[in-house]
């Protein structure tokens, strides 16, 4: 069995007009959200054994804010990637429980395509910042995973964790 945790980066800052989109950091709310998501991963016994993240500043800071001691591979291929690029990156994973951190709109589209049935959560469709879907696959390696085969076990947004 394989587990994928598909997470959108936490809320980013637009305060510095001189930064490129790639360089934008998390804002204070995003930092709190990342910490809350890390606490949630630990509480749910979902700490991944591999992390693949976009190499943007805000995705890197999201990973750091999780506070988990897991090897991370940063790749520019996930920066504003569409579902096809995300699929190609996931196919290179070697862990049994993988956390992938990316951006919208690609991550929402990828989540929609990879699950059997979407969760009954109104925010799944727009995948707000910090949203995370946990899904399981009956496969031995990521190359065996097919679209529409993920069984959603959990979906969470940071606002629910911070209430």
What confidence category does residue 155 fall into, taking pLDDT thresholds of 50, 70 and 90?
A: very high
**Residue 163, pLDDT above cutoff 80:** no
**Terminal Cα distance for the chain, rounded:** 33
What confidence category does residue 162 fall into, taking pLDDT thresholds of 50, 70 and 90?
A: confident
The structural domains of the chain, with segments of one domain joined by +, span 2-161
Per-residue pLDDT tens over the stretch 38-97: 999 999 999 999 999 999 999 999 999 999 999 999 999 999 999 999 999 999 999 999
Share of the chain above pLDDT 90, in %: 99
Helix, strand, or coil here: 78? helix
Q: Which two tokens stand for residue 135?
A: 């899904």
Cα distances (Å, whole numbers) of residue 97 to 12, 38, 117, 163: 26, 15, 20, 27
Class of domain 2-161: alpha beta
Backbone angles phi, psi at 118, to 5 degrees: -70, 155
Buried b (16+ CB within 10 A) or exposed e, 15-33: eeeeeeeeebbbbebbbbb
């Amino acid at each position: 069995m394989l587990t994928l945790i598909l997470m959108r980066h936490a809320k980013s800052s637009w305060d510095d007009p001189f930064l490129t989109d790639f360089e934008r950091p998390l804002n204070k709310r995003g930092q709190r959200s990342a910490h809350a998501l890390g606490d949630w991963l630990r509480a749910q016994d979902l700490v991944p054994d591999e992390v693949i993240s976009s190499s943007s500043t805000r995705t890197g800071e999201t990973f750091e804010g999780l506070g988990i001691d897991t090897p991370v591979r940063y790749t520019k291929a996930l920066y504003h990637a569409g579902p096809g690029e995300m699929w190609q990156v996931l196919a290179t994973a070697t862990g049994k429980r993988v956390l992938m951190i990316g951006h919208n709109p690609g991550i929402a589209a990828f989540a929609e395509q990879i699950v059997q049935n979407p969760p009954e959560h109104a925010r799944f469709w727009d995948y707000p910042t910090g949203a995370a879907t946990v899904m399981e696959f009956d496969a031995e390696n990521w190359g065996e995973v097919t679209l529409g085969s993920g069984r959603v076990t959990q979906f969470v947004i940071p606002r629910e964790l911070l209430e």
